[in-house]
Structure 1
Amino acid sequence: MTHITSMLETYPKDLGGLDREKLAECIATCFECAQTCTACGDACLSEDMVAELTKCIRTNADCADICTTTGRILSRHTGYDANITRAVLLACEVACKACADECEQHAQMHEHCRICAEACRRCETACRELAASLS
């Protein structure tokens, strides 16, 4: 998160009242969640019972894409539009909740799903908290 924080601190304009700490945390959490979901989906593909994990794999892929996009959008500030940011954060929160809910159903049997569910819950919370702090 050091580079994320450093980049936010060097931004030449005002960030529009965004809480820099929450913003940095949310960006980092989004990218971490995207990586975790990608790895979980891949691990699901390696399981012997792959046919039973189809929904989990799809949810992982969707969540990873949405988290990556959210992290990228949150990293850009020129021409900032709070309405777009709110919408993206809500989409990410919803995707993370859905992925965590799905992974939790397999967490007893697959450790990668347990880890993924935890990452998704952290990201869900970070998105909710940042959205709540928007003016």
Structure 2
Amino acid sequence: MPVREWPADSIEAGIAQCVTACDALVTVSEDCADACLATEGNGEVTACFLADLDCVEICTTTTRVLSWHTRNDGPTAVAILETCREACMASTAACERMMALHPSWRTCSMACRQVSDSCTRLLALLGHREE
């Protein structure tokens, strides 16, 4: 089946971009969480590991919620997008604290930022404004 292209500012394009970013983040965050398990460390390693796992679960759920509905602009979609953005910001902060030990955590941080940006753009397309 050919890939459908939507106008850059359409809700469908925003959903596709968000789903793609979430799927990429799941892969990167699972790798990052695995690296945390292999690292001897303190509470920062544990915090990073848990933030990564939270991100994996929230991004997986975000992808499912956005993919299940014909109409994705309801309160559930908005709530999951906001939650996803928050989880990504927490994971970004945790990964950035760990980058001194492992520069490879930069990949996770960048993926988190992409999801956060995608969620923010989609929320704007849905007409949701931050208070």
* Superposition TM-score tier, normalisation by shorter sequence: 0.7 to 0.9
Residue from 98, 123, 132 that aligns with 2:90? 98
Residue from 9, 17, 24 that aligns with 2:16? 24
The normalised TM-score by structure 2 is: 0.84
Mapped to 2, the partners of 1:64 and 1:52 lie a distance apart of 18
**Residue identity opposite 2:102 in structure 1:** H
RMSD: 2.4
Mapped to 1, the partners of 2:51 and 2:32 lie a distance apart of 10
Aligned twin of 1:37: 29
Instruction: State the 4+ residue runs in structure 1 displaced beyond 4 angstroms.
Output: none
Structure 1 residue 134 corresponds to structure 2 residue 116 = no
How far did residue 79 of structure 1 move?
6.3
Q: How many residues align?
A: 125
Mapped to 2, the partners of 1:81 and 1:120 lie a distance apart of 23
**Residue identity opposite 1:34 in structure 2:** V
In structure 1, stretches of 5+ residues that fail to align are: 10-17
Structure 1 residue 57 corresponds to structure 2 residue 49 = yes
Aligned twin of 1:112: 104
Mapped to 2, the partners of 1:52 and 1:133 lie a distance apart of 36
Percent identity over the alignment? Answer: 34
Q: Secondary structure at the match of 1:75?
A: helix
More helix by share: 1
**Residue identity opposite 1:76 in structure 2:** W
Task: Summarize deviations over 1:92-114 as a string: whole Å, max 9, x none.
Answer: 00000000011101113213321
Task: Summarize deviations over 1:12-65 as a string: whole Å, max 9, x none.
Answer: xxxxxx522111110000111112111101111112336540111011101110
The answer as to whether partners of 1:43 and 1:112 remain within 8 angstroms in 2 is no
Aligned twin of 2:80: 88
CA distance 1:39–1:50, change in 2 (3 Å): farther
The normalised TM-score by structure 1 is: 0.81
**Residue identity opposite 1:88 in structure 2:** I
In structure 2, stretches of 5+ residues that fail to align are: none
Mapped to 2, the partners of 1:20 and 1:81 lie a distance apart of 11
**Residue identity opposite 2:18 in structure 1:** C
